């Protein structure tokens, strides 16, 4: 059986790029993987671990025969990286990314790319608190959603091939409009992170708060600190890139918190119970 792709280039060998490389090797989805990254020592390390077959710092080498290019760099740099790669890419190359914000990326790429290059935005929902290829692992995408955000100009055959690729990695592909994606993930992913970061900061900042007490925390706070331990630079880029949606959802959340706060402040036990029950019911729908 021939592999899905001949040669895959991955720019940015972090948690996602590294885990992709592992599975591409393990599942024989490509004949060769070339890595791109700015830090030669780290790229050499990834190469010696067997994640990638070779690596370059600059895009002028090794890209010409890659039939799939995956950009795994931070959200704010994806469009620039795609643009920098484009002159060296094969006209047949399929270019995609794995960023957590889609509309600004897809827009910036569309306005900057030569027509010949096909770019389809992607977002595998497989982040973890850890980052870097040292945290990469086999099967990271198994049973996870991967959102793809084609637009009306996307070649259906290329979309089908990219879908096959993610499905081969064990992911469930969901096709979504980039704008809808950013609204939804602003709500279910970016807002919870903003809230968790804020809650942890609120407590550690309080002078009256004895930090040793944090160790007593069972559920509740400990869950928040786990979310708030996510990579600060990555999340900075995500909330800035998806700023309008994030601000919208913060406002919606603030109103919800204010409603509950009013009920508590006025000793309105019935309203407190009603608001708490609503959350439980939502959880039931989820499971």
**Total of residues contacting its own copies (CB under 8 A):** 92
> Does 254 help bind its own copies (rule: CB under 8 A)?
yes
d(CA 148, CA 157): 14
> Does 275 help bind its own copies (rule: CB under 8 A)?
yes
d(CA 183, CA 271): 29
> Does 175 help bind its own copies (rule: CB under 8 A)?
no
> Does 201 help bind its own copies (rule: CB under 8 A)?
yes
> Does 227 help bind its own copies (rule: CB under 8 A)?
yes
Q: By CB under 8 A, which span of 1-9, 48-56, 64-72, 217-225 interacts with its own copies?
A: 217-225
> Does 197 help bind its own copies (rule: CB under 8 A)?
yes
Candidate residues 39, 151, 175, 276; the one interacting with its own copies per rule CB under 8 A: 276
> Does 222 help bind its own copies (rule: CB under 8 A)?
yes
> Does 261 help bind its own copies (rule: CB under 8 A)?
yes
Q: By CB under 8 A, which span of 48-56, 59-67, 163-171, 253-261 interacts with its own copies?
A: 253-261
> Does 64 help bind its own copies (rule: CB under 8 A)?
no
Q: How far is the CB of 205 from its own copies (least distance, A)?
A: 7
> Does 39 help bind its own copies (rule: CB under 8 A)?
no
What are the backbone angles phi and psi of residue 200, rounded to the nearest 5°? -65, -45
Q: How far is the CB of 133 from its own copies (least distance, A)?
A: 19
Cβ burial, residue 150 (10 Å; 0-12/13-18/19+): buried
Q: How far is the CB of 9 from its own copies (least distance, A)?
A: 26
d(CA 272, CA 15): 41
By CB under 8 A, the residues from 76 to 135 that bind its own copies are 125-129
């Amino acid at each position: 059986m021939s592999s899905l792709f001949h040669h895959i280039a991955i720019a940015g060998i972090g948690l996602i790029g590294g885990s992709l490389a592992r599975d591409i090797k393990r599942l024989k989805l490509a004949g060769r993987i070339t890595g791109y990254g700015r830090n030669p020592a780290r790229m050499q390390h990834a190469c010696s671990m067997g994640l990638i077959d070779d690596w370059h710092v600059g895009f002028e080498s090794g890209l010409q025969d890659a039939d799939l290019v995956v950009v795994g760099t931070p959200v704010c740099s994806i469009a620039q990286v795609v643009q920098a790669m484009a002159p060296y890419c094969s006209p047949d190359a399929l270019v995609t990314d794995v960023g957590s914000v889609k509309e600004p990326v897809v827009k910036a790429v569309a306005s900057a790319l030569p027509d010949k290059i096909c770019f389809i935005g992607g977002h595998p929902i497989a982040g973890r608190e850890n980052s870097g290829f040292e945290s990469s692992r086999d099967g990271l995408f198994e049973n996870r959603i991967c959102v793809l955000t084609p637009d009306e100009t996307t070649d259906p055959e290329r979309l089908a091939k990219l879908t096959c690729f993610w499905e081969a990695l064990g992911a469930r592909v969901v096709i979504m409009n980039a704008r809808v994606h950013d609204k939804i993930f602003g709500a279910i992913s970016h807002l919870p992170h903003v809230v968790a970061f804020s809650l942890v900061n609120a407590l550690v900042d309080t002078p009256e708060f004895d930090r040793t007490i944090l160790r007593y925390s069972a559920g509740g706070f400990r869950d928040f600190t786990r979310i708030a331990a996510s990579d600060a630079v990555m999340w900075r880029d995500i909330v800035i890139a998806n700023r309008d949606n994030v601000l919208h959802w913060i406002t919606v959340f603030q109103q919800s918190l204010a409603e509950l706060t009013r009920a508590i402040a006025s000793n309105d036990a019935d309203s407190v119970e009603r608001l708490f029950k609503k959350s439980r019911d939502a959880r039931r729908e989820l499971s």
